[in-house]
Amino acid sequence: MLTIREVTELTGIAAPTLRYYEKEGLLPHVRRNENGKRLYDEDDLSWIHFVTALRATGMPISQIQKYVYLYKEGDSTISERKMMMLQHKKEIEKSIRELYFNLDKINYKLALYDVIESQIERTNIKI
């Protein structure tokens, strides 16, 4: 069992953020010791990594809340949870497509700069 400090060192997530996630219901079943201090086990670490992956791919806190709520409901919500993940997968793929699309525009801009620089070279103008 790990203290909150050990988890922050392991994950790079700030302690207040871990408490915030827990308060918002993103981390089910984090235990406490006899004095109320948090103790994290392997399952908690898995949840933290999973929540981090969802956040890093743009899933809002509110939707992760819903997912964890369904998880707590038990096996009857498995298909709904799977559908949430399928939907989120689509969103991520869409984000990637949009990034590539806009990356093209940046590359076009960079190509223009290359043209300008080669013109400067040819005409021997100094900037």
Partner DNA sequence: TCTTGACTTAAAGTGAACTTTATAATCTAT
Partner DNA sequence: ATAGATTATAAAGTTCACTTTAAGTCAAGA
Q: Retrieve residue 87's tokens.
A: 């939907």
109 binds a copy of itself, rule: CB under 8 A: yes
72 binds DNA, rule: CB under 7 A: no
Q: Retrieve residue 77's tokens.
A: 């919500």
Count of residues engaged in binding a copy of itself, rule: CB under 8 A: 34
Among 12, 34, 76, 100, binds DNA (CB under 7 A): 34
Q: Where in the chain does DSSP place strands (E)? A: 31-32, 38-39
Residue found under tokens 């909150």:
4
- Least distance (Å) between residue 116 CB and a copy of itself: 6
Of 84, 13, 1, 81, whose CA–CA distance to 44 is shortest? Answer: 1
Angstrom CA distances, 71 to 46, 55, 59, 68, 90, stand at 14, 17, 16, 5, 21
The site partner of 95 among a copy of itself, DNA, none (C-beta below 5 to 8 Å per kind) is a copy of itself
The site partner of 100 among a copy of itself, DNA, none (C-beta below 5 to 8 Å per kind) is a copy of itself
Residue numbers at the binding site for DNA (CB under 7 A): 3-6, 14-17, 19-20, 23, 32-38, 55, 60-62
